[in-house]
Structure 1
């Protein structure tokens, strides 16, 4: 085994691999409006990276008179329909995923979207990107709880401390870091400066296997890493 490479990489989906947050926000706004309410940008931002149960409960507070499960199904179906029309890939994500796969590094998709949504997005990736999927409906505790990342490492049969996680949200970074994974924060909708990310990369575009290996080796060797560039 090449000890300069992580045992596995663990990937968030919404906001990290695909820029679906605008899809979710638009669907939330339509649903609240349907029940005579007004959705706010602040409320939408508060849900970025959260579990769908939290989303459902929040929309109920804004007047949506449906059960949480009904809200989740409605939102998920609408977002999946939008993805079928256009997959909003985040820059560099697929390219880095492919490089990791070609290096035979196991990968897990760790998302708070439900499995049906995760598999839908996965189906548009033109290669077999993931060994396992941990979804919001397969864990008891949503991010920022570390359960999803701990579960992914267990399913891959690797130590969580030998894994590198990719996240874009505050709750996601908190979850991955609390699990013990080396955590790369890739800010998108919200800044991640005050999160426990190991490093922040402003984009995945242009990032390579060498960048991941260097980060892993530096962390393993307890080297100091610049918090903004990871170099």
Structure 2
């Protein structure tokens, strides 16, 4: 018998809200403001701020650049906070969120973004009060692809991995959920290469029927 899904875990950026481009722009803005040239021109989706900073700086975090990272991160967060709005919602995900809410399933957000950004984004989407909990990057020592955020979500909800369903749009997020044994749905065709159990195509108007056919969420 198929295990009944009892909790939903959502990634945020690129999954509930189409904000990946905003975060990339924020990173380059902060870099320019602080007067150093980025070592890369493209930032992979799903990376935590520290990983992005190290990639752009071309060196690992150290005592010498710790203060620079703190200022860079603050500038990037402020840039994103000023630009994330309801217009960035991913409507297929919001439809699913409302469907799961109608079933009474707890839904948590598990994100590599910081708590202020997560809360602001969820407020813009109008779903903050419907989230059972927020697990943000600043609540753990290691972000995705490390599994700690998902391990914390499992512990909080007191559920086994097979009873949970996660939505992710990046390699780091899918890797983190898979490491815990959680059911993973990839958002976007590009996630197919990371072997989630199901892929939802952003070109499709609705994913509801696909989810209903694939998982027992009753």
Please indicate, yes or no, whether the TM-score normalized by the shorter chain is above 0.5.
yes
| 1:30-54 deviation line (CA, Å, top 9, x unaligned) | 2333415256433x12xx2112221
| 1:118-168 deviation line (CA, Å, top 9, x unaligned) | 111111233433100000001122111111112112112221221010000
Structure 1 or 2: more helix by fraction:
2
Once the two structures are overlaid, the 10-residue window that deviates more, 28-37 or 89-98, is 28-37
Once the two structures are overlaid, the 10-residue window that deviates more, 199-208 or 176-185, is 199-208
Q: Distance in 2 between matches of 1:71 and 1:5?
A: 43
Question: Secondary structure in 2 aligned to 1:33?
Answer: helix
Q: TM-score, normalised by structure 1?
A: 0.81
Give yes or no for the alignment of 1:60 onto 2:57: yes
Matching residue of 1:119:
119
Structure 1 stretches lacking a partner, 5+ long:
219-231
Alpha-carbon distance, 1:69 to partner: 2.0
Count matched residues.
207
Question: Secondary structure in 2 aligned to 1:124?
Answer: helix
Matching residue of 2:62:
none
Q: TM-score, normalised by structure 2?
A: 0.85
Alpha-carbon distance, 1:109 to partner: 0.2
Give yes or no for the alignment of 1:22 onto 2:21: yes
Structure 2 stretches lacking a partner, 5+ long:
60-64
Alpha-carbon distance, 1:195 to partner: 0.7
8 Å CA contact 1:169–1:187 kept in 2: the answer is no
Runs (4+) of structure 1 exceeding 6 A deviation are none
8 Å CA contact 2:174–2:196 kept in 1: the answer is yes
Matching residue of 1:102:
102
8 Å CA contact 2:200–2:207 kept in 1: the answer is no
Tell me: higher relative CO, structure 1 or 2? Use CA pairs within 8 A at least 6 residues apart.
Answer: 2
